Structure 1
């Protein structure tokens, strides 16, 4: 058994380190000469430890001294396993060429461009100091080997970086430098093929375009180029070649260069060279002289061709000639933004790209999909080309340098620019990691779970790599879509709002089509709302015209864009001439985006916001933490209440303040600023502050009548006691008063509680707080208020097992804290019983649970969809946790908590629940709690049943981050099914 225990321990540790095939890994590690533990630890930080381990053994077969070298050079070992664990393609290369492991030794700082050029020219037998190098080795294999060696160094630097997104621009720049060096060496081979004497008759320049030109190349990508040729002149100044001969010879060299780079041999390949962006495209001559290029761009080039030239850069060959071309075409590029219809053409091009994405790939496209790399690149280029006509400071060729300039000089907000840059770097890092795996050109997020896990780990996600990666990616695309729509599609709003302009405007029908495409169910009504918001030439209409392009896109991100736009119109009509609101709409992009998401997601929050539109200011709060501290809330509520002399006015003020705090919490929830545990704590604190302030109002009123109240404490029970209230929760509680000889004391206390309940549930626009005292001794038949001594006597003589379980979640909620704590001392022996539960009590709890499951489920409700009483739902999880607390809290003080998840986590730490079981139960509890809250937020009506059909089902699913109610239902069933299995073992003993 000891051997088996140790095996299981080792397997468990390997799983925690990231291995998936732990049995195989254990067997392989046990024979690793360098030590199994050290090797396992070394591999734990890589993208795919199993892949890396396999690679080590394959490489060790080719190089028996590998493990010794790794031991001698820890840096080399780390770089090697990072490469082996992230790239099957580079792993294959190393197995074929094991001496290339040496490339990973020493410094991996970025290699200067000049050094790369020299290395590759030397590899092909060319003189790097020659003006026009000619290669001696013409097969191209030496170039391919040198190229892969350089890529290996770059990849090792990339993969071992602490932050892949931060280093990404530098990696892309070095890959672009390497592309320049490859083109230079390939050109040297091409010269050797045509003959040095022939090649010496002309000047040949390679101009890089696209990502290569912008110094932002991928690992695997077409390299876009354009060729310029001119004749050399002899000593008398006469051209050495001219006319058709110049074009023919230049084309031979260009064709050879392209073939050398793209050819597949036993050594591998490099990448395709694409000259399709040249004048006339593939139908035009492969090479042109400077004058011929100039004539074409001056007379016939289209707008998109100038946009393609934005990143033109002299790359290889005759750099002076290449720079002459760039200098010639650059002024034309930076004036193209003034062409009639230019913006429309660029927008149409971007939309066409999105339409052409195959449907099955649309949701996986890193590059071309909505919110992907192209959105950022097109946005930056559009701004540059429009503003660069008059401001050369923003004329940059690269995406990130261009964005940085636009931010610096005020064309893009700093926050917007930072978000777009961060999303772009992250997405480029994703793209790099995807391509590295097989060293193939791709821009798709993998759909295979194993590939997703490896990709997530390569980008630093460890706990749930696939889920965390997809969430981070989706978050980045949502941010980019919002920014892209606000900036890139602003002419759409000019058309929708009927602004007279010389610029091209969309027709009303086109505007409706666009709104329909964004997700509006009633585009005609949406247009009417937009017209109402933007009509006139005053300041409010002007600011609305500025902000609506973004708002329309942000509404479309929510479950109900039509409702969001209508609510926005109502809020704007109420606040449209308020100066702070106008400034916030124009300058506070974050506030506007938040408002759009809240209005299009939640009827619950929208109803409260329309009750007091000024509360929209809460969306500008950055410093207020949620949940707000309970004592701070109590102080605020009490201060507001006591400003009013009469009880009704004070109660109205309390309820209005409660509405404000509920709105603050719900908006933070919708915006993803707080998690479900924080929501529960926030709502529980709000309930406590509400009851505390109202009790003080009632107490003041009684004193004014000459009937002072005894000390009263309100004991929080149920979800309130656990700090886990939902938006639909009642305030479950018990009322305790101090012991008194005054025969009138209890009558006054009961009258006060009756008055308190009356004040808080009066009809009105503000949400009522229902008080439920049914968990008090003797239930509905017992007195509403008891003295402390009465509580003590009852619990010592007559309390039942179910009451002990109910008291697990009893805490001081409001009122007299000292009195409340005295009652806690009374109930502690009952809920944390010495020696735990008896077998009879366990059976009693199980019987009660079984009866509740059979009797309390509403008729006609599908049991599997009931988030509270259904299998694996809230009740299942909470009863498991409470049963263990009742059994073991007497000997483990850390279990003495009223909160479900902290209790579950303590049970896990104590070994009372396994780590996997605890994780399953926690996930189910969080999911069910979140669904209940989202239902309330979306519908403004409480329900414990997961909606799966119709608009409500779709809206709830969207608010939960699912694309349709079907996937949400499937996810819920999967999670709760696992949880029910745990419950059957831990609670029912099956």
Structure 2
């Protein structure tokens, strides 16, 4: 007995488990119905885990009391406390849904539906739901069976077995099965009608899109045809009676409640049109009379019940019209006006609570996605999905929505839909209003996993997601470029000087006055060029503003436009290709290197409008193009100039792909794997420089010897060049090797080879505004004291007698890059025994490599440089990783074929596969190497000149942050992350390399 005025232990436990009315709940626990389990601790734990423990307990008591006899009640309670899956599902549902608790009280045996799940039941489809409804012979039995199926969907939902998209798809599949069952009941009721006609039920809206709510009108369109030999008028009347009967079965309310209203108002002429039309009548209406919104509605059309062939014929006939709707006059303005009308019709007092129709609500996402589908789906069938989330994913994959924007929209939409689901689940009522009561908000927040301060957390999350949706909706849905894309004609967006200046300041332009001058120069006048610029500029300004240097982006755009503004294809490209405009904006505002390259060859902007334009060209393709260009040129200097022209264009292609791949654009998704991006960029630069060297070699030979040099000649890449890991600012380390042709004197061959090398170096050092291609031969035998070029025999003799361990290590990266391929192959065969010595390295050699590394660390670090931020020689930087990998290659390459590669990451992966480096340590080294390489590339992109450490200028540092994927204002995080990642790499290096 509890002493008056003192709380019982149960009361205290109830409070601790989240009960808000512990006194009432304590009385419920004392009810006879729960006598056998009231003290079982697992029960309170399970109740406390629900969205509303008080509600779950009330439902449990009602269900226990509703059992037909005491034996059934005890069986139920014993199962409940012994079977955790049932306990979680059943109490989870009753804590989230008063309506489903009511159903269980009316049908106390339905708890068995939650007892076990077979593997196939985790995500059931239409067939499984049809089996669940198969015994329903009349409308009330169908309603009961429907709720039983709904109970299992809700259980999976609240327990997290399904996510919001899967739950919505299951609800749509259950609706499909229900429509089929209702039609079967209607046919049995009037078999004569069923015999006269073919009837197809086409789902629209959320049911058609496989994204249905718990409680929603199920939008349908009916298509009817006479069966062979039947009178058409009589058949259509019969089909209409069947359709009307189906609607009544689903829509009427009885003692078992209502399934959901079936809404046929999306049919031609709406409520004023016939309920059922023939296929030809549908087609005629859409061809002549349909409005823009009706084509938008057809995006989600899907046959679900009745005659499947007729339903498919309907979709096949109308689908082409849907994807031509964007060509209709005033298409984009019409859709935008329809969206505004929806918002305007929301009652004033409900706007702030409206989850679906209000600003930042679900409809904002849906309308934006549907508009983009209709605009771009004309030429891209991958966008033809009725599901909002699938369509959004396809838009991102196709480059029509930025990857980051798509990810934010996806996250926000899922959150808002889950809120909508849980609001409707409570009483199974069709509503999109967020509740106002504290208890309702608490239950809603807890149902979404918010347990600390559920009301506060819920409101903050809701507002945050709504704000994201609204911002992106404005950015995507109303951008003027869409009208130009849809109409294939210039829009009429105009910027007044004052409005432009205010917006420039708001967007973060450092020099709004200067920027305004650029805008005025671009947009003033009545020319076709100015009209297109006025359409593009509001969007471009936003893209520039997303960068670290908006002013540079706008200035670059003006320069490119001045250079190409009179070129017809340039205007068409910007107007008609959304990807080109945004890609150009991103490239122009990302730093100095890419714009400088583009402004020296403005026609390269066409690369940005080609879906395949950003893919790097292969080495063979590049070499063929360079050699052909050299062959057409006049003289050696003209040949190298032609080779440089190809290099300039392809270097721009690579930099543009790198910039866009690093943080993406609305029309180009960002690269998810930094390592893959680094491999692609460094490989492309290496291939490009190899092709350029091949061109310089051809130009040098052709000038004096014509088509054939007296000696075979090859260029061997070394260092990062041989490793196919060149960055934008890297020198190309090389060795030159030759072999006299048959009958040619060795001295004559050597003189020819030296002349070729001298001429190549001269040609490549000619003054140019392009990024230089510097060749460095200091890794040759005897270093700077040795001859620039040797014969293969000379290399063999030197390496046999004089080679030092550091030279063997340097040869690890040797790979033929230009010239005679057979000679290059034989050079590699010559050096393989040196770089992969049989039985590995001796102790003396290992000590020598360690000594050289330590000496390099102490002597070559630039004075004043921060060793924690120096990418090449600093702690955990490129040198640390590469020397560690190279030591393993020399020790084990003779036995492990995978280690015989010039590429650092490939060798590291092979060392891990061979068990030489544990998984975590290999990942640490790889991450550090990729990051350091990206920083070096980023410095060159941002500053236009090479560097081994982060820039000191604030704006350049911010641009580096954007390149590396950091949000504005987070450069401190970038530097901290770099230090953390390289510190870990240094620790691994010291253990593996020095044996610390």
Tell whether the structures are fold-level matches, with TM greater than 0.5: yes
Q: 2:985 aligns with which of 979, 984, 989?
A: 979
**2: CA distance, partners of 1:735 / 1:614:** 36
Alignment pair present for 1:515 and 2:504: yes
**2: CA distance, partners of 1:796 / 1:81:** 78
Alignment pair present for 1:732 and 2:733: yes
Check conservation: 2:639, 2:695, Cα contact below 8 A: no
- 3-state secondary structure, aligned to 1:737: strand
| Structure-2 change in CA distance of 1:413 and 1:989 (3 Å) | closer
How far the C-alpha of 1:99 sits from its partner, in A, is: 4.3
Check conservation: 1:717, 1:807, Cα contact below 8 A: yes
Check conservation: 1:512, 1:524, Cα contact below 8 A: yes
**1: CA distance, partners of 2:345 / 2:879:** 54
Q: Residue in 2 aligned with 1:619?
A: 608
- 3-state secondary structure, aligned to 1:601: coil
How far the C-alpha of 1:871 sits from its partner, in A, is: 1.2
How far the C-alpha of 1:826 sits from its partner, in A, is: 1.8
Q: Residue in 1 aligned with 2:478?
A: 488
**2: CA distance, partners of 1:605 / 1:726:** 14
Give matches, 1:180-579, under 5 Å: 376-377=365-366, 379=368, 416=400, 428-429=413-414, 441=444, 484-485=474-475, 487-490=477-480, 508-579=497-568
Check conservation: 2:501, 2:512, Cα contact below 8 A: yes
How far the C-alpha of 1:780 sits from its partner, in A, is: 0.8
**2: CA distance, partners of 1:843 / 1:703:** 48
**2: CA distance, partners of 1:879 / 1:564:** 40
Give matches, 1:903-942, under 5 Å: 903-942=907-946
**2: CA distance, partners of 1:912 / 1:403:** 44
Q: Residue in 1 aligned with 2:598?
A: 609
**2: CA distance, partners of 1:88 / 1:797:** 85
How far the C-alpha of 1:703 sits from its partner, in A, is: 1.2
Alignment pair present for 1:888 and 2:924: no
**2: CA distance, partners of 1:817 / 1:969:** 44
Q: 1:699 aligns with which of 698, 701, 707?
A: 701
| Structure-2 change in CA distance of 1:582 and 1:169 (3 Å) | farther
Q: 2:836 aligns with which of 832, 838, 841?
A: 832
Q: Residue in 1 aligned with 2:114?
A: 101
How far the C-alpha of 1:738 sits from its partner, in A, is: 1.1
Q: Residue in 1 aligned with 2:761?
A: 757
How far the C-alpha of 1:547 sits from its partner, in A, is: 2.3
Check conservation: 1:732, 1:773, Cα contact below 8 A: yes
**2: CA distance, partners of 1:936 / 1:160:** 47
Alignment pair present for 1:636 and 2:625: yes
How far the C-alpha of 1:710 sits from its partner, in A, is: 2.0
Q: 1:647 aligns with which of 636, 639, 642?
A: 636
How far the C-alpha of 1:685 sits from its partner, in A, is: 0.7
Q: 2:683 aligns with which of 681, 684, 692?
A: 681
- 3-state secondary structure, aligned to 1:714: strand
How far the C-alpha of 1:178 sits from its partner, in A, is: 14
**2: CA distance, partners of 1:716 / 1:733:** 5
Q: Residue in 1 aligned with 2:239?
A: none
Q: Give the CA RMSD over aligned residues.
A: 5.9
Q: Residue in 2 aligned with 1:455?
A: none
Check conservation: 2:495, 2:534, Cα contact below 8 A: no
Q: Which moved more, 1:776-785 or 1:416-425?
A: 416-425
| Structure-2 change in CA distance of 1:481 and 1:741 (3 Å) | farther
Deviations 1:549-599 (A, max 9, x none): 332222223322221111111111111121111111111111111111111
**2: CA distance, partners of 1:579 / 1:404:** 37
Check conservation: 1:713, 1:816, Cα contact below 8 A: yes
**2: CA distance, partners of 1:501 / 1:736:** 62
Check conservation: 1:641, 1:653, Cα contact below 8 A: yes
Alignment pair present for 1:898 and 2:883: no
- 3-state secondary structure, aligned to 1:743: helix
How far the C-alpha of 1:507 sits from its partner, in A, is: 6.3
Q: 1:860 aligns with which of 864, 868, 872?
A: 864
**2: CA distance, partners of 1:405 / 1:797:** 67
Deviations 1:316-353 (A, max 9, x none): xxxxxxxxxxxxxxxxxx99989999999999999x9x
Deviations 1:728-781 (A, max 9, x none): 111100111215634233233222211111111211222221010110111111
| Structure-2 change in CA distance of 1:955 and 1:403 (3 Å) | closer
Deviations 1:665-690 (A, max 9, x none): 11111111661011111111111111
- 3-state secondary structure, aligned to 2:874: coil
How far the C-alpha of 1:491 sits from its partner, in A, is: 11
- 3-state secondary structure, aligned to 2:683: helix
- 3-state secondary structure, aligned to 2:711: coil
- 3-state secondary structure, aligned to 1:671: helix
Gaps of 5+ in 1: 1-58, 68-76, 136-141, 181-209, 225-256, 262-306, 312-333, 358-364, 388-398, 449-472, 495-499
| Structure-2 change in CA distance of 1:926 and 1:430 (3 Å) | farther
Deviations 1:339-376 (A, max 9, x none): 999999999999x9xxx99xxxxxxx999999x96753
How far the C-alpha of 1:891 sits from its partner, in A, is: 1.5
Alignment pair present for 1:968 and 2:969: no
- 3-state secondary structure, aligned to 1:537: coil
Q: Which moved more, 1:508-517 or 1:338-347?
A: 338-347
Deviations 1:119-144 (A, max 9, x none): 9x99xxx99599xx9x9xxxxxx999
Check conservation: 1:634, 1:692, Cα contact below 8 A: yes
Q: Residue in 1 aligned with 2:169?
A: 170
Q: 1:661 aligns with which of 650, 655, 675?
A: 650
How far the C-alpha of 1:548 sits from its partner, in A, is: 2.3
**2: CA distance, partners of 1:486 / 1:961:** 22
**2: CA distance, partners of 1:88 / 1:915:** 46
Give matches, 1:57-72, under 5 Å: 62=79
| Structure-2 change in CA distance of 1:601 and 1:707 (3 Å) | closer
Q: Residue in 1 aligned with 2:799?
A: 795
Count residues in correspondence.
713
**2: CA distance, partners of 1:413 / 1:744:** 59
Q: 2:823 aligns with which of 807, 819, 822?
A: 819
- 3-state secondary structure, aligned to 1:865: coil
**2: CA distance, partners of 1:639 / 1:445:** 64
| Structure-2 change in CA distance of 1:375 and 1:867 (3 Å) | farther
Check conservation: 1:702, 1:709, Cα contact below 8 A: no
Q: 2:850 aligns with which of 837, 846, 849?
A: 846
Deviations 1:399-424 (A, max 9, x none): 96899999x9xx99997489999985
Deviations 1:806-826 (A, max 9, x none): 111011111112222222122
- 3-state secondary structure, aligned to 2:861: coil
Deviations 1:658-716 (A, max 9, x none): 11111111111111166101111111111111111110111111215x99542211110
**2: CA distance, partners of 1:746 / 1:775:** 19
| Structure-2 change in CA distance of 1:688 and 1:478 (3 Å) | farther
How far the C-alpha of 1:837 sits from its partner, in A, is: 0.7
**2: CA distance, partners of 1:677 / 1:129:** 63
